[in-house]
Amino acid sequence: MTRRWRTAAGALVVALSLAGCVDVESPRSSERAPQGRFVETTGANCAVGERPGYFVPGPAATLLGCARLGVSGKRVEFSGNVAHIDGGRHACVNPAYSGRGQRGLFIPSKCMFVPALSRFAVRDAAQPRQGVRGYAYVIWGTAGASKDVVARFTGGTARAAVFRVGPTLARRFGESAFSLFVLELPLSAACGPVAIAIAIERIPPQAKLCARAKR
pLDDT tens, residue order, the chain (215 aa):
433 333 222 233 455 543 333 222 333 433 444 454 579 999 999 999 999 999 998 888 999 999 999 999 999 999 999 999 988 999 999 999 999 889 999 999 999 999 999 999 999 999 999 999 999 999 999 999 999 999 988 889 999 999 999 999 999 999 999 999 999 999 999 998 888 876 544 455 678 888 888 77
CB-based burial label for 164 (10 Å; 0-12, 13-18, 19+):
middle
pLDDT value, residue 2:
38
Q: What are phi and psi of 88, to 5 degrees?
A: -125, 165
pLDDT value, residue 204:
59
**Would you tell me how many other CB atoms lie within 10 Å of the CB of residue 100?**
8
DSSP designation for 146: -
* Beta-sheet pairing, 42-44 with 161-165: unpaired
Q: Please give the model's pTM, rounded to 2 decimal places.
A: 0.79
Instruction: Spell out the residues 6+ positions from residue 213 whose beta carbon is closer than 8 angstroms to its own.
Output: 21, 24, 25, 27, 31, 186, 187, 188, 190, 191
pLDDT value, residue 60:
86
Sign of CA dihedral 14, 127, 138, 118: negative
pLDDT value, residue 154:
86
pLDDT value, residue 198:
60
Torsion angle (degrees, nearest 10) of CA 42, 46, 50, 56: -70
How is the chain split into domains, by residue range?
13-214
Contact predicate 69/109, CB 8 Å:
no
Contact predicate 52/105, CB 8 Å:
no
